[in-house]
Chain A
């Protein structure tokens, strides 16, 4: 029997297989490191009241997912983000104020959990800088206009 012509040497096939395995391995592990429970009741289900849901949605878009820190909990599919959405929706449904819920989370995770900056001594420069720049611009422009009058 004739041996099939080897177009690709065996060693290359082995290397490619090893590479593919190495690339796929982390995915296999991360798939394993997920819980098998279904998501929390209100992780993906909207509230029946559209007004309440809008409030919850607006809040969830400004809360950081703690598992995937560049996403909001509204954007993330991490189970913990789902549980946080459940928590937010349940509290909104119970009539809690969105800012109170934000405060509840900040009390536990620090300011980092909120994308919306809070007015605190450390953030005063953030809110003060635009005012300072506006005042500076007004002062400079006033000088310019004065000179223009005299010429």
Chain B
């Protein structure tokens, strides 16, 4: 009780008036944040993110597959042929319904003329469509495998057509080229083939 009385008798002092604080960082923070946001937007516009999904299967041996022939005049394609070779080969994932695949055909023809052996995997293709495509755009392929459910494409980590893989003589994937091979890409492909040979 005595304690309570003591409390009651205390004189109540008003709380000290809050000191006017100087507007420091708090004032500028929103502007700074906005500036940062703006910088991020500009960066995103100037350098858009690369949305290509790169194969994680580079430097790994080609998975086992055995595809039936996709055209009447070329044999089918199996992993064994890549391991039996003496030099690196190109594995071209393509389709007759793919527009950029027609764009790269002169470059494939040029590579074939330079002595590069190219094997093809035709994705979800009909035989007559493919025959028409090869008649129109030329046939640089040694073998063409028919892949109707994209099984080989999935097995090597390819996410679209066209894609071209450099496979060395032991059957190990050494390089992946995403998209059509443009004329300026030919030296790079040749360089990667040379690297795979050494």
Q: Which residues of A contact B (CB under 8 A)?
A: 29, 32-37, 40-41, 66-67, 69, 79-80, 83-84, 86-87, 105-110, 112-113
8 Å CB contact of A108 from B123, B149, B156: B156
B94 to chain A, nearest CB (A): 12
Query: Are B150's CB and A37's CB within 8 A?
Result: no
A81 to chain B, nearest CB (A): 10
Chain A, residue nearest B159 (CB): A66
A73 to B48, CA, bound (A): 24
A-B contact list, 20 entries, CB within 8 Å: A29-B99, A33-B99, A34-B97, A35-B97, A35-B125, A37-B148, A67-B160, A79-B150, A83-B151, A83-B153, A87-B149, A87-B151, A107-B57, A108-B57, A108-B157, A109-B56, A109-B159, A110-B56, A112-B53, A113-B53
Sorted from nearest, which 3 A-B pairs have the closest CB atoms? A108-B157, A83-B150, A66-B159
- 7 more contacts with CB within 8 A, not counting A83-B124, A108-B157, are A40-B148, A41-B149, A79-B150, A80-B150, A83-B151, A87-B149, A87-B150
Q: A29-B99, A108-B57, A109-B56 are in contact. Are A80 and B159 (CB under 8 A)?
A: yes
Contacts of A67 in B (CB 8 A): 159-160
Q: Which residues of B contact A (CB under 8 A)?
A: 51, 53-57, 95, 97-99, 123-126, 129, 148-151, 153-157, 159-160
Query: Are A36's CB and B156's CB within 8 A?
Result: no
Q: A108-B154, A108-B157, A109-B157 are in contact. Are A36 and B57 (CB under 8 A)?
A: no
Query: Are B56's CB and A107's CB within 8 A?
Result: yes
Query: Are A69's CB and B151's CB within 8 A?
Result: no
Query: Are B98's CB and A108's CB within 8 A?
Result: no
Query: Are B53's CB and A66's CB within 8 A?
Result: yes
Query: Are A37's CB and B157's CB within 8 A?
Result: no
Query: Are A108's CB and B99's CB within 8 A?
Result: no
Chain A, residue nearest B150 (CB): A83
Query: Are B154's CB and A110's CB within 8 A?
Result: no
Chain B, residue nearest A84 (CB): B154
A66 to B56, CA, bound (A): 14
A113 to B54, CA, bound (A): 11
Contacts of A106 in B (CB 8 A): 56
Query: Are A87's CB and B56's CB within 8 A?
Result: no
Chain B, residue nearest A29 (CB): B99
A33 to B133, CA, bound (A): 13
Query: Are B95's CB and A110's CB within 8 A?
Result: no
Contacts of A40 in B (CB 8 A): 148-150
8 Å CB contact of B124 from A35, A41, A87, A108: A35
B152 to chain A, nearest CB (A): 11
A35 to chain B, nearest CB (A): 4
Q: A34-B97, A106-B56, A108-B56 are in contact. Are A79 and B157 (CB under 8 A)?
A: no
Contacts of B123 in A (CB 8 A): 35
A87 to B57, CA, bound (A): 18
Interface centre among B95, B124, B151, by most chain A C-beta atoms within 10 angstroms, is B124
Chain A, residue nearest B151 (CB): A87
Contacts of B156 in A (CB 8 A): 108
Query: Are B125's CB and A110's CB within 8 A?
Result: no
Contacts of B51 in A (CB 8 A): 69
Contacts of B155 in A (CB 8 A): 108
